[in-house]
Amino acid sequence: MASTALPSRDDFAALLNESLGGEDGGFEGRVVKGTVTGIENDMALIDVGLKSEGRVPLREFAAPGQKADLKVGDEVEVYVDRVENAHGEAMLSRDRARREAAWDKLESEFTENARVEGVIFGRVKGGFTVDLDGAVAFLPGSQVDIRPVRDVTPLMDIPQPFQILKMDRRRGNIVVSRRAILEETRAEQRSGLIQTLAEGQIIEGVVKNITDYGAFVDLGGIDGLLHVTDLSYKRINHPNEMINIGDTVRVQIIRINRDTQRISLGMKQLESDPWEGAAAKYPVGAKLSGRVTNITEYGAFVELEPGIEGLVHVSEMSWTKKNVHPGKIVSTSQEVDVIVLEVDPEKRRISLGLKQAQNNPWDSFAERHPIGSTVEGEVKNATEFGLFIGLDGDVDGMVHMSDIAWGISGEDALALHRKGETVQAVVLDIDVEKERISLGMKQLERGGPAAGGTTAAAAGLNKNQTVTVTVLEVRDGGLEVQAGEDGATGFIKRSDLGRDRDEQRSERFQIGQKFDALVTGFDRAKKPTFSIKALQIAEEKQAVAQYGSSDSGASLGDILGEALKAKNEG
């Protein structure tokens, strides 16, 4: 009987190696095909041709959020992690097999910039996890949608397209975007829809969003901007005064920019323009009533009718309140009377006057207080050149420093009075156009135009009359003088103090000094003006006429000497 040789140690190792897949590394680390041989509880038994079967959780054969559709006899691909564990079982993974296959496919699609399908199945810091048929990708929160999404729950566990932004197989990182897909789809829809629209077209849309500057209206896949200024011809402070989110509105397409795909819409364009015929409805000089709608630093806007507003400039708001904010004169929603000053229909501007609709206090004052009358008021302010006196009718008059008191300098006269003091003065002049009232206080002391209620003309003075005057005040610019003992007061300018320059020095005169002067005229306050120079010229002409011209051989000095001698002898 022949003996059978027992296998050697080397023979046994070769047989075992063959059963495990050969000498090329075996099954470990490879994706292989296997057959489902049984299902126990939540585990599937898979035979991949090894000495023992492997167990794989059923959840690895199911899509996120779904049950596994697996039965005995099905052929599946699994990844062999280890040939045998401590229990003698093969360590298999369906997830790893799917991941390896998915990476191969995803790398190809990423190279081709193709869309991939995935399912959002979990939340992580900064975003979400997406199952790309076995490979797990990261979806940043900013890439979920075009606009921020508060609740992502409705988007989870639903197969949908994604765009791969970045992937690194060595590190196992994949970043995807759902937003890129939505933007591309919307761009395609917008491009197609915008071709069907035209400027001037009237269309209906739904208000999608409202901001301070307008509203976005959905025109059926593309948004248009309805600016606040195009909502209505009347003033609108905020769009929600007219429309709300979700409202269906009828709009007109104003402009289309096909390059940027921006559409401008308008609602007021569907209404009649209130500015048509505005020049006829609001003629210059017309008195109207309106409502204050807005107040700024430079004036106030007054609504004359819905859609038409006029501006009352700050300079046209009050006769007497100067350099004050318009809000201190009128208030929003106040009904006011105004006068139309100017109309420009092309620029859609109307200039209005508020003060013109009221009585001019300067006219009223002039009617009640003619020149020469006495008034009383409070010293409102003292400046370096005079006093401002508050008068009835809310107007101010000014007393120049030279008209405060007799016999003292203007600076000393200013020091005699203080703010808040009640004083009396004479009205010397009124200029309604320039809104100026000139007053005098010293004229009430002696010989002033208002003393005794007489004027210079009534006191018997006439133009070209020679009178003896008394110096009341010496100033740099001339002399304040009085005619006679108790006559009218007047002024002699420095240039009228004599023919020669040396004679035109006011400091050569003294208060109380008397001399002759010629009446040259009367000012607005009926005060006389005098001149020594004019008197000298007049006397020279008279002497030449009486004693002969210089053609007779006599000098001008001889003629004047004879005239002076005759005057003294007389």
| 101 burial level (CB within 10 Å; 0-12, 13-18, 19+) | middle
Shared domain for 62 and 127, answered yes or no, is: no
Q: Would residue 30 be called left, alpha or beta, if left means φ above 0 and alpha means ψ between -120 and 50 degrees?
A: beta
For residue 335 the two structure tokens come to: 């009904």
27 in Cβ contact with 83 (< 8 Å): yes
Shared domain for 216 and 254, answered yes or no, is: yes
Shared domain for 545 and 459, answered yes or no, is: yes
Residue 468 CA to its chain's centroid (Å): 69
Q: Could you count the other beta carbons within 10 Å of the beta carbon of residue 229?
A: 13
Write out the residue range of the structural domain in which residue 152 sits. Answer: 113-184
Shared domain for 557 and 471, answered yes or no, is: yes
Q: Dmax over Cα atoms in the chain, in whole Å?
A: 201
Q: Tell me the backbone φ, ψ of residue 412, rounded to 5 degrees.
A: -70, -35
275 lies in a domain?
A: no
Shared domain for 404 and 435, answered yes or no, is: yes
Pairing of strands 395-400, 478-483: unpaired
Residue 464 CA to its chain's centroid (Å): 65
Whole-angstrom distance, CA of residue 396 vs CA of residue 399: 10
Q: Where are the beta strands (DSSP E) in 369-465?
A: 374-383, 386-391, 395-400, 422-431, 436-440
Q: Tell me the backbone φ, ψ of residue 402, rounded to 5 degrees.
A: -80, -10
Provide the whole-model pTM.
0.43
Shared domain for 570 and 473, answered yes or no, is: yes
Structure confidence at residue 177 (pLDDT)? 94
Shared domain for 127 and 229, answered yes or no, is: no
Q: Please, what is the angle between helix 556-569 and helix 532-547, to 10°? A: 100
Looking at 86, 107, 128, the residue that finishes a domain is 107
Residue position matching structure tokens 């937003």: 179
For residue 504 the two structure tokens come to: 């035109």
24 lies in a domain?
A: no
DSSP 242: T
For residue 138 the two structure tokens come to: 């990261």
Whole-angstrom distance, CA of residue 433 vs CA of residue 456: 26
Q: Could you count the other beta carbons within 10 Å of the beta carbon of residue 337?
A: 14
161 lies in a domain?
A: yes
Shared domain for 76 and 95, answered yes or no, is: yes
C-alpha distances (whole Å) from 158 to each of 70, 121, 123, 256, 491 are 21, 9, 15, 37, 105
290 lies in a domain?
A: yes
Report the side by side order of strands in the sheet with 75-82. 54-57, 43-47, 31-40, 75-82, 91-93
Total domains in the fold of the chain = 6
518 lies in a domain?
A: yes
Shared domain for 419 and 474, answered yes or no, is: no
| 289 SS3 class | strand
Structure confidence at residue 302 (pLDDT)? 93
Structural element, H or E, at residue 160: strand 160-168
Q: What proportions of the chain, in percent to the nearest 5, are helix, strand and coil?
A: 25, 35, 40
13 lies in a domain?
A: no
Q: Which residues of 466-503 are buried (b: 16+ CB within 10 A; e: fewer)?
A: ebebbbbbbeeebbbbbbeeebbbbbbbeebbbeeeee
18 lies in a domain?
A: no
CATH number at residue 553: 2.40.50.140
Whole-angstrom distance, CA of residue 231 vs CA of residue 351: 24
Shared domain for 540 and 568, answered yes or no, is: yes
Shared domain for 82 and 124, answered yes or no, is: no
Taking only the tens of pLDDT, the chain with its 570 residues reads 444 455 554 555 455 445 444 433 456 667 778 888 888 887 878 787 777 677 777 777 776 667 777 888 888 877 777 666 555 566 776 667 777 777 888 888 888 888 899 999 999 999 999 988 778 899 999 999 988 888 888 899 899 999 999 998 888 899 999 999 888 887 777 777 777 888 889 999 999 999 999 999 988 778 889 999 889 888 888 898 889 999 999 999 999 887 777 889 999 888 888 888 888 888 999 999 999 999 999 999 999 988 888 999 998 988 888 788 999 999 998 999 999 999 998 888 999 999 888 888 888 888 888 888 899 999 998 888 889 999 988 889 999 988 888 767 778 888 888 888 889 999 988 888 888 899 999 888 754 444 433 444 445 788 888 999 999 888 888 898 888 877 788 889 888 999 888 888 888 999 889 999 999 887 655 678 899 999 998 888 887 777 655 444 455 555 555 555 555 554
Q: Tell me the backbone φ, ψ of residue 440, rounded to 5 degrees.
A: -135, 135
Looking at 377, 410, 445, the residue that finishes a domain is 445
Structure confidence at residue 450 (pLDDT)? 41
Q: In terms of DSSP H, where are the helices of 67-172?
A: 94-111
For residue 567 the two structure tokens come to: 């005057």
Shared domain for 479 and 565, answered yes or no, is: yes
21 lies in a domain?
A: no
Pairing of strands 308-313, 349-353: parallel
Whole-angstrom distance, CA of residue 567 vs CA of residue 238: 93
Structure confidence at residue 550 (pLDDT)? 45
Looking at 209, 240, 270, the residue that finishes a domain is 270
> Cβ contacts of residue 154 below 8 Å, gap of 6+?
none
